Structure 1
Amino acid sequence: MERPNPRLYEGYCDETPVHRLRERFGTTNVYGRNSRSILSPASGYIKAYDFTLNPYRGCQYGCSYCYAAAFSPNTRMRRDWGNWVIVKENAAELLRKELERWNKRHPERPPRIYMSTVTDPYQAIETREKLTQRLLEVMIEYCPVLVIQTRSPMVTRDIPLFQRLKKLRVNMSVPTGSETVRRDFEPQSPSLKARLHAIHKIAGAIDPDKGYVPKLSVTITPTLPTKPEDIDWFVERLRGIDRVVLQRFHDASARSLVAATREEAIALKEKYRWWYADEGTQYENFKAILKQRLPETEVLENQEGFGYD
């Protein structure tokens, strides 16, 4: 008997869909699925970790440059990146089982987990699903080394849980210091002010007498243009963050890289030729400014910057 095609999602196929539309959340098509596993072995860029953890598949922010679109279930969903999300409904139950299994095999070492690599754990649907919140509650019991990657101010909701996680780093993605650039490259994402306010809110709200203190990063990745008139504002709002991470734009010419830069972002490069005509020099000058004006902040690049330590 022929197995049903798992790539057939209602609204994105001509055949009878295997996965029906669960609902509409604003303009987003929402699907619900049970996963076979929730912890995926880490490799490549984040090989320093044991696992990646993605509560959702798809991302409502739909950033133009996001490599994760390459891993959409089918071509139509890839073209509609940002307008659909798949909720891994059994994620918390799976996580408990998989962490318990790890602890039995490796009682001497907690797992190192990166959440998330191909979705945002605090995208809008999380306000109602609270899936990421439930995953954190499970992880508190098992004390993993955890890095959370997000661009959402909603991350501040879980500050009480953060204080109960022994080894946590929160990475706030802020790829540019210019709001106009942000609106061009990632129009569906939160404002820069909201993101920077959120990471500072975490820093200010953490009480070392009431629990653990998370490490905090701003990841300027991929490093998009920051207009000269916005640099002073941006640098000032990076003060007090213990780490800043830089990374050149994904190499669209790397044919071996499945998750290369999307065409939407490549087209936007033309609008910012003053930066991309000599991207190397612009990037190095920007890095030099950060290192000079933020002497108490760790400024790292590429893979090195995404480690927990």
Structure 2
Amino acid sequence: MNSELFYKQPKTLLNKGTGFLSDYSHSLNPYTGCSFGCSYCYVRQMPVSTFRQREWGTWVDIKQEAAELLRKELRRAKVKGRVTIFMSSSTDPYQPIEHQEKVTRSLLEVMAEDPPDLLLVQTRSPLVRRDIDLLQLLGDKVRVSMTVETDLDEIRKRFTPNAPPIAARLQTLQLLADAGIATQAAIAPVLPSSEAFPDKLRPLVDRVCVDDYFMGDGSGGKRTRNLGIRSLYEEWGLEEWYDPFAYQIVYDRLKRVFPEEQIYVSRQGFAP
């Protein structure tokens, strides 16, 4: 999807962690908007999207001079106590424009020089592999959480046609692990998958988080219902997967190959 690009001068970057992310001191979004434009993205129902009067996925704000602003804010935040950062809560820090603009990389450079107590990088993009050098500098203060909602690329194409292929994400998890970077697979939200899904993840990660629309959209599933996602499941005959207990299917399959202490559910799996 081609997105319209806008260049903005943000007044702040570090936002207080609230709601689902209240375990973190701050959230950090290198961009506003996301060109992946996933059909089920809860941000579609948030003010950042609804006030824009443009379809989610068709625009991206690029935050200029972000590194220098973060440098100042990070210094101030550290004076007040522990700094734990979730990057990102309402965009993907490695969406396609990052190839060109490198805003996320510039923020990692700042944090490599002056590390927070913990940084969680949440992405679905293989582009994160580009920054392995900086992630290694952060050592045990960083974890990369790679969204892998399913192992079936035909399902990925139905729900998130503009997002990266599943195989590329799995390969990236392997590269990150080989580089000694802490990782997890985030099956979030749970999409229809095969029984072999856990076996594909087992060699790559020792930590898996399972989340769904009902636990993870910040409104008990209301935002997702307003998007009409159920109709997609009905159209494809997948109704059993649109259910508050559908995550249990995947959880039970994971338990066959992962120790239970390596499987996390919803907010617990994203906590610092």
* Alignment partner, residue 220 of structure 1: 187
CA distance in 1, matches of 2:217, 2:111: 39
Aligned runs of 1:201-216 on 2, under 5 Å?
A: 201-204=175-178, 206=179, 213-216=180-183
* Alignment partner, residue 187 of structure 1: 161
What letter matches 2:89 in structure 1? T
* Alignment partner, residue 111 of structure 2: 139
Query: CA offset at residue 287 of structure 1?
Result: 1.0
Provide closer, same or farther for how the CA distance between residues 44 and 125 of structure 1 changes in structure 2, counting only shifts above 3 A.
same
Task: Tell me if structure 2 keeps the 8 A contact 1:220–1:247.
Answer: yes
What letter matches 2:150 in structure 1? T
- Report which structure shows greater RCO (CA 8 Å, sep ≥6): 2
Provide closer, same or farther for how the CA distance between residues 82 and 258 of structure 1 changes in structure 2, counting only shifts above 3 A.
same
Task: Tell me if structure 1 keeps the 8 A contact 2:87–2:121.
Answer: yes
Query: CA offset at residue 252 of structure 1?
Result: 11
CA distance in 1, matches of 2:6, 2:183: 32
Give structure 1 stretches of 5+ with no counterpart: 1-25, 207-212
Query: CA offset at residue 260 of structure 1?
Result: 4.0
Q: Which moved more, 1:148-157 or 1:97-106?
A: 97-106
What letter matches 1:192 in structure 2? I
Query: Are 1:120 and 2:92 an aligned pair?
Result: yes
What letter matches 1:215 in structure 2? A
Question: What SS does the corresponding residue of 1:154 show, helix, strand or coil?
Answer: helix
CA distance in 2, matches of 1:160, 1:149: 17
Query: CA offset at residue 236 of structure 1?
Result: 2.5
* Alignment partner, residue 15 of structure 2: 40
CA distance in 1, matches of 2:120, 2:45: 23
Q: Which has more radius of gyration? A: 1
Structure 1 length as normaliser, TM-score?
0.80
Provide closer, same or farther for how the CA distance between residues 256 and 248 of structure 1 changes in structure 2, counting only shifts above 3 A.
closer
CA distance in 2, matches of 1:274, 1:105: 49
Higher helix share: 2
Task: Tell me if structure 1 keeps the 8 A contact 2:216–2:266.
Answer: no
Give structure 2 stretches of 5+ with no counterpart: none
Superposed CA RMSD in Å reads: 2.5
Query: Are 1:244 and 2:208 an aligned pair?
Result: yes
Query: CA offset at residue 305 of structure 1?
Result: 0.6
What letter matches 2:192 in structure 1? P
Task: Tell me if structure 2 keeps the 8 A contact 1:65–1:261.
Answer: no
CA distance in 2, matches of 1:96, 1:68: 27
What letter matches 1:120 in structure 2? D
Q: Which moved more, 1:133-142 or 1:70-79?
A: 70-79
* Alignment partner, residue 4 of structure 1: none
Task: Tell me if structure 2 keeps the 8 A contact 1:173–1:218.
Answer: yes
What percent of counterpart residues are identical?
37
Structure 2 length as normaliser, TM-score?
0.90
* Alignment partner, residue 6 of structure 2: 31
Query: Are 1:89 and 2:53 an aligned pair?
Result: no
